[in-house]
């Protein structure tokens, strides 16, 4: 697994700022604000990252508790996101083949139900 670094972290934050700007025209101001959670990761604490966030006061930065997963809500949220990814995106070729094979009965029934027409697959 590739380790994150400060430049990649900032590019994520920069994309968040762009999304936040575009959302402003679509929703209320509270939703338009970008919310960024920072913990004790080295790239969160780097001077480069701190300077970038200082230059963008419109972005809200929340400092999460250090070394305290029970008090850090992002840890639980991140665990749910990863668990969701694992159900959607297989980790390896074998798991992909298993998921495709397991989906075939549902796919065949969908074709039958659609009288040979298009299905959600």
Report the pLDDT value the prediction gives residue 4, as an integer from 0 to 100.
Answer: 56
Report the pLDDT value the prediction gives residue 109, as an integer from 0 to 100.
Answer: 92
Report the pLDDT value the prediction gives residue 35, as an integer from 0 to 100.
Answer: 63
Report the pLDDT value the prediction gives residue 48, as an integer from 0 to 100.
Answer: 76
Rounded Cα distance, 77 and 15, in Å = 20
Q: Any idea how long the chain is?
A: 121
Terminal-to-terminal C-alpha distance of the chain: 31
| Residues in the chain, pLDDT under 50 | 1, 19-20, 22-28, 30-32
Tokens of 83: 């668990």
Report the pLDDT value the prediction gives residue 27, as an integer from 0 to 100.
Answer: 44
SS3 category, 106: helix
Report the pLDDT value the prediction gives residue 33, as an integer from 0 to 100.
Answer: 53
Report the pLDDT value the prediction gives residue 118, as an integer from 0 to 100.
Answer: 85
pTM of this structure: 0.36
Mean per-residue pLDDT of the chain: 70
Rounded Cα distance, 89 and 102, in Å = 14
């Amino acid at each position: 697994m590739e380790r994150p670094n400060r430049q990649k972290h900032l590019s994520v934050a920069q994309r968040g700022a762009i999304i936040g700007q575009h959302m402003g025209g679509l929703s209320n101001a509270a939703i338009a604000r970008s919310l960024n959670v920072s913990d004790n990761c080295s790239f969160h604490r780097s001077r480069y990252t701190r300077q970038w966030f200082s230059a963008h006061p419109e972005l809200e930065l929340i400092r999460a508790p250090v070394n305290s997963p029970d008090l850090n809500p992002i840890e639980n949220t991140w665990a749910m996101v990863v668990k969701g990814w694992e159900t959607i995106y297989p980790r390896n070729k074998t798991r992909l083949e298993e998921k495709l094979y397991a989906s075939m009965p549902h796919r065949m029934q969908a074709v039958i139900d659609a009288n040979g027409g298009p299905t959600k697959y």
